[in-house]
Amino acid sequence: MDLTIRDILGILAKKWWIIAICTLVGAGASLAYSVLLIKPVYQAEATFYVTYTSQLSSQSTYQDSQYAQDLVNEYIVVLTSDPFLENVRQASELSYSAEAIKKMLELGPVEVNNNATKFFKVTVTCPNQTDALSIARSIMDLAPDEIIRVMDAGSVKLLSADPLVKQAGSSFGPVQLTLLGALALLVISAVVVVLTDIFDFRIKGPDDIEKHYNIPLLGSVPNIKNV
């Protein structure tokens, strides 16, 4: 059976109510999922710059960069130590334990074109935006002095005076997810409606004989009920 665009549009128009119901169901389900099940997660980021005085005036650029990377790794150990995180907990005045704060942290060097730099970033991920900001600020306040106290080499400077806060996780909000759910169910229901009609070989009227079997209809016998 040759199916034209006009035939497809006719099938969709005939079953429009099914497509409309499925579209509404998809929109409602997506909205409920985005509101009830997706919990927002916030990230507060602080960036530090490693500073130090080289003891070798003839030190090569590569050696200088390698030394800075080594310092970054050592600083990360200091900033994830239990004593430091306990100080962060006390400074933030929050109910989290030092272990809980440690699980929120992600520390690592900042890379440019796959090359490590003298910068490293501390990211605090927390369901509460205010708490994430408070923990990040406490780290920023305490980290420079703690690094100088523990390490004999180098120090750190803050790239910005306040952490950068953003919402992490899904990049789609409730409105976007609702529209995506509605669109998905609209397309799926339209395809199912068209395929169901195409593969429905039941004879429901005179036109179905020629439509499905390409046989001309010579006549029909009316159904006469007894009076």
Q: How many angstroms separate the CA atoms of 4 and 209, rounded?
A: 18
Cβ atoms of 127 and 40 within 8 Å: the answer is yes
- Residue among 42, 41, 45 nearest 121 (CA): 45
* pLDDT at residue 113 is higher than 70: no
Confidence of residue 223 (pLDDT cuts 50, 70, 90): low
pLDDT value of residue 102: 93
Task: Name the least confident of 32-36, 49-53, 69-73.
Answer: 49-53
Strand 164-168 versus strand 105-112 pairing type: unpaired
pLDDT, tens only, 133-143: 999 999 999 99
What pTM does this model have? Answer: 0.60
User: Which tokens belong to 67?
Assistant: 């030394």
Mean pLDDT along residues 79-97: 92
Q: Is 227 helix (H, G, I), strand (E, B) or coil?
A: coil
Q: Which of 183, 170, 128, 174 is nearest to 36 (CA)?
A: 174
Which conformational region is residue 93 in: left (phi greater than 0), alpha (psi within -120 to 50 degrees), or beta?
left
pLDDT band at 90 (very low <50, low <70, confident <90, very high): very high
- Tell me what the mean pLDDT of segment 112-135 comes to: 84
Instruction: Count Cβ atoms below 10 Å from residue 150 Cβ, excluding itself.
Output: 15
Name the residue among 169, 68, 84, 167 with its Cα closest to residue 120.
68
Looking at 13-27, 155-169, 207-221, which range is the least confident one? 207-221
Q: How many CA atoms lie within 13 A of 160 on its CB side?
A: 12
Mean pLDDT of the chain: 81
Locate 220 and state its tokens: 């029909």
The Cα-based distances of 139 to 26, 111, 123 in angstroms read 44, 21, 10
Helix and strand numbers, DSSP H then E, in the chain: 8, 5
pLDDT, greater one: 147 or 36: 147
- How many whole angstroms from its chain centre is CA 95? 28
Q: Which domains does the chain have, with CATH numbers?
A: 5-37+173-213 (no CATH), 41-168 (3.30.70.1130)
- Alpha helix (H) ranges present in 33-128? 61-79, 82-92, 98-104
Alpha-carbon Rg for the chain in angstroms = 33
Predicted local confidence at residue 138, as pLDDT: 94
Give residue 89's pLDDT: 92
d(Cα 46, Cα 133) in Å, to the nearest integer?
10
Of the pLDDT bands very low, low, confident and very high (cuts 50, 70, 90), residue 11 is confident
Element (H, E) at 197: helix 174-198
- pLDDT of 209 reads 65
Question: In the prediction, which pLDDT does 179 show?
Answer: 92
